[in-house]
Amino acid sequence: ILHRQGSILERLGDRDGALLKLRGALQAGRDVWSAGGASNPNFAELGDLMNALGNMHKMAGDSDPAMEFYRESLSIRQEIGDQLSVANVKNNIGAVLAALGRTEEAKAFYVDALRTKTALLGCDNTETGRTLANLGQIYMDEKEFDKAFQYFSEGTRIFRLNLGDKHFEVGVCAHNLGIIWDGRSDHKKALRHYAEAYAIFQRTAEDAHLLSFTLHNMGAIYIKRQKYSRAVRCLYDALDCKLDTLGLDAEETAET
53-93 pLDDT per residue, tens: 898 889 888 999 999 999 999 999 999 999 999 999 999 99
Q: How confident is the model at residue 205 (pLDDT cuts 50, 70, 90)?
A: low
Say what percent of the chain tops pLDDT 90: 73
Residues of the chain with CATH 1.25.40.10: 1-121, 149-250
CA distance 20 to 35: 24
pLDDT in tens, 19-51: 787 788 777 777 777 777 777 777 888 888 889
pTM: 0.86
How far apart, in whole angstroms, are the C-alpha atoms of residue 164 and residue 141? 27
3.50.50.60, 1.25.40.10, 2.130.10.10, 3.40.50.1220: CATH of 149-250: 1.25.40.10
Question: Which ranges in the chain belong to alpha helices (H)?
Answer: 2-11, 15-34, 43-59, 63-80, 83-99, 103-121, 126-141, 145-163, 168-183, 187-201, 208-224, 228-245, 251-255
Angle at CA 226, nearest 5°, toward 221 and 230?
65
Considering only residues 111 and 2, tell me which one the structure prediction assigns the higher pLDDT.
111
Task: Please report the pLDDT score of residue 110 as a whole number.
Answer: 97
Please give the Cα distance from 191 to 175 (Å, whole number): 9
> What pLDDT, in 10s, does the model give residues 214-248?
999 999 999 999 999 999 999 999 999 999 989 99
Mean pLDDT rounded to a whole number for the chain: 91
Give the tens place of pLDDT for each residue, 158-202. 999 999 999 999 999 999 999 999 999 999 999 999 999 999 999
- Residue 173 carries which side chain, given as an amino acid letter? C
- Asked if 174 and 197 count as a contact pair (C-beta separation under 8 A), the reply is yes
Taking domain 1-121, whether its CATH number is 1.25.40.10 is answered by yes
The predicted model gives 148-164 an average pLDDT of 97
Name the least confident of 14-28, 142-156, 194-208: 14-28
Rounded Cα distance, 212 and 208, in Å? 6
